[in-house]
Structure 1
Amino acid sequence: MAWETSNRRERLPDNWAAIRRRIIRRDGGVCVAPLLDSGQRCGEYGTDVDHIIPGDNHDLSNLQLLCRWHHTRKTQRESAAARAMRPRPQANVPRVEREATPDPW
């Protein structure tokens, strides 16, 4: 996450450091993301405590430890989904009626 451009850190609870330590201990210090080919845990060193369901629900059941790679991929998917839900502005370009093109056959 780009902390420099986010207000996310401000929205974390005062005891976030303790919650984070608890998640790291619970998940054994390793990434819990499932590998696509085997379904087993990634097993890389966990660096990021992630909200399973995005938002401000800091319940332990909504937190997981991910490696940087898996956390980045998950964040990219969530960002793309959020962008896709936003309405796109319509250009105010008048439609020009086109003459029918004669059929050359």
Structure 2
Amino acid sequence: MSGGWQNSNRARRLPPNWQRIRARILTRDPICKICGVRPSQFCDHIVAKADDHSETGLQGVCGPCHDQKSSAEGNAAQRANPRPGRTRPPEQHPGMK
């Protein structure tokens, strides 16, 4: 799997019949639902992390649109949960106490 799946539990959260669902969505959406130009290559969850595997919760998208959407979702998640800062509060000079 690609590097993006290394720290993900997404594969374990997919239903056992995921390959059949994916094939149905890509057959239904042969052209990317985002750009409307390139052929669909990925079965994309419309709402990130919703785990909605229904026909209405999935869409066929091309590689570039999938990468852009996934990147935007990842960036939004990082902004929502920023890492704590690594700077210490300034210490008072020892002679100033």
Number of paired residues?
89
What is the alpha-carbon root mean square deviation over aligned residues? 1.9
- What residue number does 1:70 align with? 65
Larger radius of gyration: 1
- Structure 2 letter corresponding to 1:12: L
TM-score, normalised to structure 1's length?
Answer: 0.74
What does residue range 14-93 of structure 1 map to in structure 2 within 5 Å?
14-27=16-29, 29-34=30-35, 41=36, 43-55=37-49, 56-90=51-85, 91-93=87-89
List alignment gaps of at least 5 residues for structure 1: 35-40, 98-105
- What residue number does 1:102 align with? none
In the alignment, the residues of structure 2 paired with residue 93 and residue 53 of structure 1 have an alpha-carbon distance, to the nearest angstrom, of 39
Select the structure that is richer in helix: 2
In the alignment, the residues of structure 2 paired with residue 7 and residue 14 of structure 1 have an alpha-carbon distance, to the nearest angstrom, of 14
What is the percentage of aligned positions where both structures have the same residue?
A: 37
List alignment gaps of at least 5 residues for structure 2: none
